[in-house]
């Protein structure tokens, strides 16, 4: 093998070598000989992690005043429930755009709490496009509109931000921090950290404080935005390790030059892989060209009987976790921030090689 191993896992995903080096050190000696997983979440060292992580994230995303940064356990799925609990207020319904399996799951969870109006649904075309906003059936009484800017399984990504009269909620689990965004376009942004930020165990929520509504129902403390704001996301023992590593990742991103640099790299990596797919009759990506994800690239081989050989040979070449999601099969390459351009190049070199032998 002429290159390091590359891990294209959709999540939990690869982290930068420099970050993992610091993590290894912190497991030997984080502070005064104590390791990171053994420090008190009420101590000064952890308080510093809390403050710096919030400041660095605010800096990276240029988060304006009026927004709160919160860290929850329960992943993005926990937020599927927390969002209606905290945002519904007296409203009885919410609008959802359904563009893939993740928004479908968000819809199902919200249905536990309210009437869900699915404003557009691309399931009939197997989730291969982003529906134009002109076609959406919006409800002006909705408490908020929820959408998924990047569908991790189907590889469908919005290139634009919906413009609606109600608060806008975005599940950015798989594309947060992949490019600069205008935070004030949104009222709530959330993300499970295990794709583009850190080890599994947390979700980040960036919420405009004035969209949080008194609830008709009691809200469990660990999902209660107001209580979490009051306690600096430490109503109970937080996911100390996940939080610590996420903080290191924020610093790494700043050191790379921030999100403008990441956006250029992410565009380049995706272009390399899509160009290889489109130049071949052997590989195929089903997503409408202008809705293609920069982060997650699903593709199929001309003959699905070759799938297992493809995965096997890839692994022998040090290219890991290229199998598509179990719900749709095929292949998928995830190219988050921590994936270097050389990783995209190594993948297409392997793909061309495989096609020459088996195509």
Ligand X SMILES: *Cc1c(COP(=O)(O)O)cnc(C)c1O
Q: Report the catalytic residues.
A: 102, 171, 195
CA distance 215 to 224: 10
Specify the residue, 11 or 199, whose C-beta has the smaller distance to ligand X: 11
Distance CA 3, CA 1 (A): 6
Q: How far is the CB of 201 from ligand X (least distance, A)?
A: 9
Query: Per CB under 6 A, which region of 48-56, 81-89, 91-99, 166-174 contacts ligand X?
Result: 166-174
Question: For the window 142-161, what string marks contact with ligand X as x by the rule CB under 6 A?
Answer: ------x---x---------
Q: What gap in Å lies between CA 161 and CA 189, rounded to an integer?
A: 12
Residue closer to ligand X by CB (options 128, 173) is 173
Q: Which is nearer to ligand X, 66 or 220 (CB)?
A: 220
Cβ proximity to ligand X, 6 vs 102, nearer residue: 102
Q: How far is CA 152 from CA 34, 102, 113, 253, 298, in A?
A: 37, 8, 25, 21, 9
CA 167 to chain centre: 20
Binding flags for ligand X, 60-99, as an x/- string (CB under 6 A)? ---------------xxx----------------------
In the complex with ligand X, which residue's Cβ is closer, 99 or 285?
99
Nearer CB in complex with ligand X: 323/351:
323
Least distance (Å) between residue 13 CB and ligand X: 10
What is the pattern of x (binds ligand X, CB under 6 A) and - over residues 289-328? ----------------------------------------
Judged by CB under 6 A, the number of residues near ligand X is 12
Q: Which is nearer to ligand X, 152 or 233 (CB)?
A: 152
Bridge partner residues of 116 (DSSP): 94
SS (H, E, C) the chain: CCCCCEECCCCCCCCCHHHHHHHHHHHHCCECCECHHHCCCCCHHHHHHHHHHHHHHHHHHCCCCCEEEEEECCHHHHHHHHHHHHHCCCCCEEEEEECCHHHHHHHHHHCCCCEEEEEEECHHHCCCCCCCHHHCCCCCCCCCEEECCEECCCCEECCCCCCCCCCEEEECCCCCCCCCCCHHHCCEEEEECCCCCCCCCCEEEEEEHHHCCCCCCCCCHHHCHHHHHHCCCCCCCCCHHHHHHHHHHHHHHHHHCCHHHHHHHHHHHHHHHHHHHHCCCCEECCCCHHHECCCEEEEEECCHHHHHHHHHHHHHCCEECCECCCCCCCEEEECCCCCCHHHHHHHHHHHHHHHHHHC
Taking the complex as a whole, how short is the minimal distance between the CB of residue 223 and ligand X, in angstroms?
13
The distance of closest approach from Cβ of residue 80 to ligand X in the complex, given in angstroms and rounded to an integer, is 8
Residue 312 Cβ, how far from ligand X at the closest point, in Å?
Answer: 26
Residue 102 binds to ligand X (criterion: CB under 6 A): yes
Closest residue to ligand X using C-beta atoms: 75
Binding mask 180-209 for ligand X (x = CB under 6 A): ------------x--x--------------
Query: In whole angstroms, how close is the CB of 269 to ligand X at the nearest point?
Result: 18
Interaction site with ligand X (CB under 6 A): 11, 75-77, 102, 148, 152, 171, 173-174, 192, 195
């Amino acid at each position: 093998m002429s290159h390091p191993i590359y891990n294209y896992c959709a999540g939990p995903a690869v982290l930068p070598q420099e970050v993992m080096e610091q993590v290894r050190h912190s497991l030997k000696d984080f502070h005064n000989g104590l390791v990171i997983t053994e420090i008190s979440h009420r101590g000064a060292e952890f308080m510093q992690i809390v403050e710096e992580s919030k400041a660095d994230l605010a800096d990276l995303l240029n988060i304006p005043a009026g927004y709160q940064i919160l860290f929850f356990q329960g992943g993005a799925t926990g937020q599927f429930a927390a969002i209606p609990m905290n945002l519904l207020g007296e409203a009885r319904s919410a609008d959802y755009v359904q563009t893939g399996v993740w928004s479908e799951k968000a819809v199902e969870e919200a249905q536990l709490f309210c009437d869900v109006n699915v404003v557009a649904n691309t399931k009939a075309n197997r989730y291969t496009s982003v529906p134009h906003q002109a076609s959406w059936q919006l409800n002006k009484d909705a408490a908020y509109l929820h959408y998924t800017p990047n569908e991790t399984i189907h590889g469908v990504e919005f290139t634009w931000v919906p413009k609606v009269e109600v608060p806008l909620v975005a599940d950015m689990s798989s594309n947060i921090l992949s490019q600069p965004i205008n935070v004030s376009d949104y009222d709530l942004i959330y993300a499970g950290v295990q794709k583009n930020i850190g080890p599994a165990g947390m979700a980040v929520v960036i919420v405009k404080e004035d969209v949080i509504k008194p609830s008709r129902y009691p809200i469990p403390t660990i999902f209660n935005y107001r209580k979490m704001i009051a306690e600096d996301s430490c109503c109970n023992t937080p996911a100390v390790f996940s939080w610590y590593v996420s903080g290191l990742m924020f610093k790494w991103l700043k050191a790379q030059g921030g999100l403008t640099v990441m956006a250029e790299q992410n565009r380049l990596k995706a272009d390399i892989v899509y160009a290889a797919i489109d130049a071949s009759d052997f590989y195929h990506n089903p997503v409408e060209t202008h809705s293609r994800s920069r982060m997650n690239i699903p593709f199929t081989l001309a003959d699905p009987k070759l799938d297992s050989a493809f995965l096997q040979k890839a692994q022998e070449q040090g290219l890991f976790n290229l199998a598509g999601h179990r719900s749709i099969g095929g292949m998928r390459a995830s190219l988050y921030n921590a994936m270097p351009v050389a990783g995209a190049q190594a993948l297409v070199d392997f793909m061309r090689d495989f096609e020459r032998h088996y195509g």
